[in-house]
Amino acid sequence: QIQVDLKQQIITALEHGEPVLTSRVASGYGAFRTPMGTHKVLFKYPTARMIGGSGNDAYDLPGVAFPTFITWSGVAIHGTYWHNDYGRPRSHGCLNVPSPVARWFWRWTAPVAPYDAATYYTPRGAAATTVIVA
């Protein structure tokens, strides 16, 4: 299970209720808040190009490291190379973490994606890691 504490801006991976990894996170802000609730790992990419927003909030980010998507609208746990300002909301809804942490989550979350997969969708009926955002 993964728990995200939006007030504290902390993400924690748990195995059998015990924390195995904790990191500061930069979650969504303003109109781009990270959606609260219980989510599941839906799909993963080793890397992705993320494009969105408009006007002053537009972004075009190639090579985003290890996105693990938890909503069909594109919210993911992923690495960043454009900032290291974790611990406060600043994303467009995603959960930004340092790239080595994103890689760790990508490898650790269920279902496990093969290393040669360019895209890996959680198979229907497969167990998937739960992500609780509160």
Averaged pLDDT of the chain: 93
Tens digit of each residue's pLDDT (9 = 90 or more) over 68-127: 999 999 999 999 999 999 999 999 999 999 999 999 999 999 988 777 777 788 888 888
Tens digit of each residue's pLDDT (9 = 90 or more) over 12-59: 999 999 999 999 999 999 989 999 999 999 999 899 999 988 888 889
Q: Give the per-residue pLDDT at 118.
A: 72
Q: Give the per-residue pLDDT at 125.
A: 86
Q: Residue 133: enclosing H or E segment and its boundaries? A: strand 130-133
| pTM of structure | 0.91
Q: Give the per-residue pLDDT at 25.
A: 98
